[in-house]
Amino acid sequence: MPSMVPEPYRIKAVEPIRLTTRAEREAILANAGYNIFFVKSEDVYIDLLTDSGTSAMSDAQWAGLMVGDEAYACCRNYDRLKDVISDIFGFCYFLPTHQGRAAEKVLFSAAVKAGDYVPSNSHFDTTRANIEAVGGHAVDFLISEGLVPTSQHAFKGNMDVKRLNRFIEDVGAQRIPLAMLTITNNFGGGQPVSLANIRTVKEVLSQHGIPLFIDACRYAENVYFIKQREAGYGNKTTLEVAREIFSYADGCTMSAKKDGLVNIGGFLAMNDERLYQQASQLLILWEGFLTYGGLAGRDLEAMARGLREALDEKYLQHRIGQVRYLAERLLEQGVPIVEPPGGHAVYLDARRFVPHIPQAELPGQALVAHLYLEGGIRAVEIGSVAFARKDEKTGEWTYPELELVRLAIPRRVYTQTHLDYVADVIIELYHKRDQIRGMRYTYEPPFLRHFTARFEFV
Ligand code: P71
């Protein structure tokens, strides 16, 4: 199979983008305190900051907005969404939310109490923060291969079941109200979880009566990897694989801003009626009535249609192919990335890209700055700026194992020519990597540092 198939769509509306000059970008970035989050969208040429909420909707989704039923209660779009969710995910109950973290907040507030533990393969940061906000502890049991950028393991997002088992025996099942699996694993490179792993995790949890929830935001991409890589699934439809995944779960949280192909939206789903009732109360308090949950009727319709489109095998083949295409172009030139490439992004391995910059001098952030200066490309650091921890007493830093720069590919937005441009810029930068200098903070906020910190070159 060629590494990239043509777009399975044609373009009906266009949005102009503009490449600034090098001198303009130098001024813009300095003005932003070298924090890419403060650069105006219109000053970015290729925006790979996130694949979340940045998808291009289809003509069918845009048409769906016009049949939005904006009644406060029991709008028709709720029913359509309900049918789609029950068809794909199969859970008894669902609650719409405005995005993924709202589903997390409702779930953990209903299910987790202070001192509880929630194990996962790898919690996303909003998930972790929402667990900690109710006094719980979020713990990760990713397989060790998941932390090795060059490991070719087919399912680097898998949970280490032995460690999970030992952990349950150590702390006791009564302190673990639920466990989670993030599919695909965003932090370790967009890596998938195998069906065998999901099944085994479920078996272990069942023995202890612990429910399993899936963080499903990139589940369709995970489905595609299972079809490609796991024996026995190649001939199943994407819908069949999705149904099998969720058959092992007791519920899920969903940010539909990813594999729902919408700009805003999410949901929480579950089988347990009591949990549903508790969650319903919180939903009404924080999001809105049960049939709209912080969204307009039209948003529900766009989500219902987007969820179906994201399971289209031709779409997924192109989508995953795009990510792989960019990865292969970089690998050909020896650019160090997380291998094999994941579903939604290519992750540069900053430790090997700029080995002369110690983690204390923020190599990932330095790369992010240079990608913008060189080519107007916006990426995001997933390394020391996002995750290093400082000991409040000694002032000493602990640095994360992975120092990555994520190039997230928005869905259905950029063409192969855009990706070739991105590859060319990165390859050129790689050839002069010796000139890249480290960075230091000029302003270091107390938490969620990456959003508001400011920097300068060392
Ligand atoms: C991403 C995002 C969006 C994001 C969120 C927070 C800081 C920076 C960027 C969001 C996820 C995610 C997973 C696995 C839940 C959420 C929250 N990812 N789980 O990767 O990746 O969803 O944004 O709809 O609330 O850029 P939400």
How many angstroms is it from 433 CA to the middle of ligand 1?
A: 30
How many angstroms is it from 145 CA to the middle of ligand 1?
A: 23
Query: Roughly how many angstroms between the first and final C-alpha of the chain, as a whole number?
Result: 46
Looking at ligand 1, which atom is closest to the CA of residue 126?
Answer: 17
| Residue partners of 359: CB distance under 8 A and separation at least 6 | 351, 383, 384, 388, 399, 403
What is the spatial distance between Cα 320 and Cα 345, in angstroms, rounded to a whole number? Answer: 9
With the most atoms of ligand 1 within 8 angstroms of its CB, the residue from 55, 98, 123, 124 to mutate is: 124
| Residue partners of 283: CB distance under 8 A and separation at least 6 | 95, 97, 106, 268, 290, 293
Residue range 5-28, pLDDT digits in tens: 899 999 999 999 999 999 999 999
Determine the average pLDDT of the residues in 103-114.
Answer: 98
Share of the chain above pLDDT 90, in %: 95
What is the spatial distance between Cα 267 and Cα 148, in angstroms, rounded to a whole number? Answer: 33
What is the spatial distance between Cα 13 and Cα 19, in angstroms, rounded to a whole number? Answer: 20
Determine the average pLDDT of the residues in 377-389.
Answer: 94
pLDDT over threshold 90, residue 1: no
Residue range 180-237, pLDDT digits in tens: 999 999 988 999 999 999 999 999 999 999 999 999 999 999 999 999 999 999 999 9
- Dihedral of alpha carbons 411, 415, 417, 418, sign: negative
Strands (E), 278-428: 345-349, 377-378, 380-382, 389-390, 397-398, 404-408
pLDDT over threshold 90, residue 448: no
Strand-pair category, 377-378 with 380-382: unpaired
347 CB near ligand 1 (under 6 Å): no
98 CB near ligand 1 (under 6 Å): no
C-alpha angle 405/407/412, rounded to 5°? 165
Token look-up 């049949």 returns 67
Residue range 32-63, pLDDT digits in tens: 999 999 999 999 999 999 999 999 999 999 99
Residue range 278-326, pLDDT digits in tens: 999 999 999 999 999 999 999 999 999 999 999 999 999 999 999 999 9
Write the residue with the smallest CA distance to atom 19 of ligand 1.
Answer: 124
Looking at ligand 1, which atom is closest to the CA of residue 255?
Answer: 24
213 CB near ligand 1 (under 6 Å): no
CA dist 141 to 30, 108, 163, 168, 433, Å? 39, 19, 7, 12, 34
Q: Is 443 exposed, middle or buried (0-12, 13-18, 19+ CB in 10 A)?
A: exposed
Looking at ligand 1, which atom is closest to the CA of residue 99?
Answer: 24
Q: Do 245 and 183 contact (CB within 8 A), yes or no? A: yes
